[in-house]
Structure 1
Amino acid sequence: MKSNKFLWNLVANELLSSHVIPSKIRCSLLKKMGMDIAKGSIRSGCYFRSSNVKIGLNTWINNNCFFDNDNENRVEIGKNCGIGMDVLFCVSSHEIGTSKGRAGKDIKKGIKIGNGCWLGARVTILPGVEVKEGCIIATGAVVINDCEPNGLYAGVPAKRIKDLN
């Protein structure tokens, strides 16, 4: 199913994102469609642009998360993570263009979330970012740079505001 984008979108993002499909069945079928998913939970309404996603053991993905991944740029989430609702994993953006068109050349880079992280609701993770193990990203934060281990990050753009034990 990786090669047929229409079929992938129909099954992964229309049928399996339904609220009537139990999470265990959703995860099992997404795994059969090529996603690298360990035992965990993916709630309804999540959108995946491709199967190039890795989700670790005991990680849960809440409702309506958006994975802007592609076949070359993976979103990887470690084990024991909690991902709040409406989180955006954005692997693509643009360089700043000229005054004739400010959205310049495409930029595409994968995203990595380390083990034990918690991302609050409506967090945005931008291309190439690595959130290292044990971090908390506060609700609504926009992460534009890597996050060092065991820190609480908040704001737009996100900044480390507290060290965590």
Structure 2
Amino acid sequence: MRRRYGRDILVSVASARVLPHRLRPLVLRRCGVEVGVGCQLREGIIVDNATSGDLRLRVGQGTYINSDARIDTAAPVTIGAEVSFGPGVRIVTTTHALGTSDKRAGELTSRPVTIGDGSWLGAGVMVLPGVTIARGCVVAAGAVVTKDTEPDGLYGGVPARRIRDLEPSERPSRPATSAGTGPARPRRAPTPPSGRR
């Protein structure tokens, strides 16, 4: 009990907005989360497991998880390498079996979630229990992914469906509703008009 309490405090520290993002992976590693090299984890990330307390989460190298993501680890969650999460992404591993009319939320069940290498989940995406998002997929902002995806596809909607194929080397333009969901990219300073300094 004492060990879980200490870990819960560290998880709270990891989500704090005042903690520099470079320290977040270190704090989560102390909690038992596997975090790859070069990951960027922004503020407000919540990693929890209300059922057993174990944090069964693996994050591959070079992955970017934007602010206010919530990852339920009642079942294992595997996030591949070079994955990008927009703000407010939700990974859910628990659900309830359908109960009787007296109580429709029946027995609690959990199933693992896997996010394939190189995938990009836009702002507010929700991934439900048991889903595998295949390698190289883009999931548009606000989509709810209820079933497995195929590699290299653009998915969107509620429930998410495949909108089009993506070539493995193709760089899709940002979905219009997900601006600002990827890692910050450096911008060039404007060039002064000729003759002025």
TM-score, length-scaled by structure 2: 0.78
Name the structure 2 match of 1:30. Answer: 28
Structure 1: state its 5+ residue gaps. none
More strand by share: 1
Distance 2:96 2:31 in 1: 30
Sequence identity percentage: 37
Of residues 132, 150, 153, the one that matches 1:151 is 153
Q: CA deviation at 1:22?
A: 1.2
Cα RMSD (Å) of the superposition?
1.4
Partner of 1:86: 88
Q: How does 1:5-20 map to 2 (within 5 A)?
A: 5-13=4-12, 15-20=13-18
Which residue type is aligned with residue 10 of structure 1? I
Provide structure 2 residue ranges, at least 5 long, that are not aligned to the other structure: 49-53, 168-197
Q: In the alignment, what sits opposite 1:109?
A: 111
**What's the CA shift for 1:12?**
0.8
Q: Is structure 2 residue 60 aligned with structure 1 residue 62?
A: no
Cα distance in structure 1, aligned partners of 2:4 and 2:117: 30
Task: Find the aligned partners of 1:62 and 1:17 in 2 and give their Cα distance.
Answer: 11
- d(CA) in 2 for partners of 1:11 and 1:29? 7
- The match for 2:46 is 47
Contact 2:10 2:27 in 1 (8 A): no
Q: 1:5 Cα shift? A: 2.7
2:15 is paired with a residue whose SS is coil
Q: CA separation in 2, counterparts of 1:64 and 1:5? A: 23
Q: TM-score, normalised by structure 1?
A: 0.93
How far apart in 2 are the matches of 1:115 and 1:24?
A: 22
Secondary structure class of the residue paired with 1:162: strand
Counting only pairs closer than 5 Å after superposition, residues 100-139 of structure 1 correspond to structure 2 as: 100-139=102-141
- 1:158 deviates by 0.5
Structure with higher Rg: it is 2
* Deviations, residues 51-106 of structure 1 (Å, cap 9, x unaligned): 31100010010001001113xx1111000110111111100001221111111121
Equivalent position amino acid for 1:115 in 2: D
